[in-house]
Structure 1
């Protein structure tokens, strides 16, 4: 009886938390308060709460923070060395003669860059180059933004930085082997639907509106704020190096990213002198840390809540055992259909209210981490791609002067279909 009351109180507080998120509440404060509340409601002993909720989860998250730091640094190096802007500028040479081909190239380049690059800083730096290119060939602002955002979300399936963030919930999952086979496949599914979206919308491309749209966002190719440097064409392969090193030689992300950074600096002339090397490293590291400072604090609060949710999993086990399908296929289908619940930091977005869902699912022991990680990654990446609470999507809406409802109108239906297909892939690979 006592466990039932505790379960009800936990669910009520969880519902209040979701309402708080939907009203735009601060997530760091929300997760920290929830960690305290769930420790009290779950009657976790004080000493256990201090150690297992507030100390150990944060300390154990240290290695993941290192991955995030190096990933953000690599993203900054791609931008500041001129590699990312050069790749972007190369796509513009297709010109206005073939707008659909140019648009598809921009989408592919965006996805290519974000296979390894990560962070709102990198998105902004690339966005101010690529989005005006899309507008210049006559694509409406809302369609350009949706295609760009979905193209960023697609490679997050194989982006080692984001993968290591979600791995905090599923520590026994492994980046490599079968997961990468799934990740690449899921990425190409999403990219295929972005390209299909552009093909369907091609009749809305109106080059005569290009100047108006560019004026609306106050952008052009000469005032993007990012200097396009001359870099050798061989440098264009740098974004793929970290993933390639893992696939070919089973390297960990850290040495892969460090090697990629060194190669990027060598190929772009940023290691010609000792002082120049030091200055470039200091500048890129400083910007990279600044890009992710808020994210790190957010993840600390989230992981504390995850610790509290894990300790309370026992209270949910009877409920989950009763309502959760024990079939991998049924669960995959269900999460595909329910994928929009990840929006607005909902119960299927692991960096939102879904932190509890992930922790409780793991705690039940019904499914292994290798299955649960991609299972929850699919709806989470729906949110990353098209949620208006995602940091770079918020920037994109403001920069492109697009209404939230227009962004959601185009983005959500595409990502819902993609999510259902990719959940079927989860079952095919891990069920």
Structure 2
């Protein structure tokens, strides 16, 4: 009887969290409240022989946060490198020069803009970086006459494609699986195994972006030039940086693949090369100034994200602890056929929108905690089940910060953005999940 009561309370609280997340509620607050509720539900069963008492302060709130340090370091370094690319002028220079190459052909120029955006965000991360690049690229597309309904999805889908090999995004998703004891003994970690899937996934999504542009080629060619944004927000001139620095966005990934480097030393080396190549190391004072300003801005960009991830770790411990007592019941209900589950996730991929049950940075965090609590699925399979819809959804959901900024900056109706972007990301889900089955799990 007590198990039924506990189950009802867990389902009710989970449903409330789903509704809260989908309505745009603050996830840090939501995770913290859900952690407390699920912990209380767990202790409700102890007097009746369900579960065993444990040190909540130590095991739920202390240890998960203290063991999360390495992930935070990787997130900070990735965000810092992204800010360095922006503040040294490398990102802006790449954007301007590439657009100039294709300015006589609007369709070709739009494709170039897409690939430049993807290139920059293979290492850059955060809404600050997206804004810094967007205020350059959107006016360029506006002058070319690219309709806003095309320009905005091209920008956001290209950022989303880059996220497949962005180490900052990877470690955030990997955090959801930290500590999971996979039946096959494998751990979710950055390296060649993941990148052997991540790179093809990025290429698939970029191919979809190109197809989207070509489908709208007539509208682009016949488009009327327009102004977008405040001219005062744009750089007054094209930053002068050496051409060879244009390869720096992919240097961290290349070092990980070729030399098996971890992301932190790879990012640090790329930062040093960026400062050196753009002349910011010519004087000690100038070097210290750019060093401090980029680090300060980068950490400010991700401060709230780090707090949310720490609270998420609290919830994960609570969820796995509680679900251990419900694992056998769930195993009898949830299908264990990987093909059926993968196909179902692809078909239902739009449920990731608005922080729904297939979005890890939403209600999906509770879903994955429940699945991990069952202890029957391998880690990379579970990674694909929620990361594929979450990652593709990043490209077209208005709850994603840089997407919302792009929509508002271009004064585009959110429903128009969704109408054009969602079909592209939804269709991408199927081949990318297929790649995951071949290369990841």
> Is the pair's TM-score, using the shorter chain for normalization, greater than 0.5?
yes
Aligned-partner SS, 1:385 = coil
Aligned-residue offset at 1:89 = 0.6
Structure-1 separation of matches of 2:376 and 2:114 = 39
Aligned-partner SS, 1:312 = helix
Aligned-residue offset at 1:361 = 1.7
User: 1:119 pairs with 95, 117, 126, which one?
Assistant: 126
> For structure 1, which segment, 250-259 or 295-304, has the greater mean C-alpha deviation from structure 2 after superposition?
295-304
Which runs of structure 2 are paired with 1:57-96 in the superposition (5 Å)?
57-96=64-103
CA spacing shift, 1:316–1:424, aligned 2, 3 Å: farther
Aligned-partner SS, 2:395 = helix
> For structure 1, which segment, 2-11 or 68-77, has the greater mean C-alpha deviation from structure 2 after superposition?
2-11
Instruction: Please list the CA deviations of residues 92-138 of structure 1 after superposition, one character each: whole Å capped at 9, or x if unmatched.
Output: 21354211100000000100111111111111111111121122211
Structure-2 separation of matches of 1:306 and 1:39 = 11
Aligned-residue offset at 1:422 = 1.1
Residue 354 of structure 1: aligned partner = 364
User: 1:378 pairs with 367, 370, 388, which one?
Assistant: 388
Structure-2 separation of matches of 1:241 and 1:282 = 22
User: 1:255 pairs with 265, 278, 282, which one?
Assistant: 265
Aligned-partner SS, 1:386 = coil
Aligned-residue offset at 1:45 = 6.9
Asked if 1:137 corresponds to 2:150, the answer is no
Q: Is the 8 A contact 1:345 1:352 kept in 2?
A: yes
Asked if 1:297 corresponds to 2:307, the answer is yes
Q: Is the 8 A contact 1:370 1:430 kept in 2?
A: yes
Which runs of structure 2 are paired with 1:139-154 in the superposition (5 Å)?
139-154=146-161
Structure 1 portions without partners, runs of 5+: none
> For structure 1, which segment, 191-200 or 330-339, has the greater mean C-alpha deviation from structure 2 after superposition?
330-339
Q: Is the 8 A contact 1:339 1:348 kept in 2?
A: yes
Q: Is the 8 A contact 1:82 1:227 kept in 2?
A: no
Asked if 1:311 corresponds to 2:321, the answer is yes
CA spacing shift, 1:256–1:400, aligned 2, 3 Å: same
User: 2:404 pairs with 367, 375, 394, which one?
Assistant: 394
Aligned-partner SS, 1:351 = coil
Structure 2 portions without partners, runs of 5+: 44-50, 179-186
Residue 162 of structure 1: aligned partner = 169
Structure-2 separation of matches of 1:192 and 1:323 = 38
Structure-1 separation of matches of 2:88 and 2:440 = 39
Q: Is the 8 A contact 1:333 1:424 kept in 2?
A: no
Residue 218 of structure 1: aligned partner = 229
Structure 1 vs Structure 2 CA RMSD: 1.7
TM norm structure 2 = 0.93
Aligned-partner SS, 2:9 = helix
User: 1:108 pairs with 101, 115, 129, which one?
Assistant: 115
CA spacing shift, 1:392–1:70, aligned 2, 3 Å: same
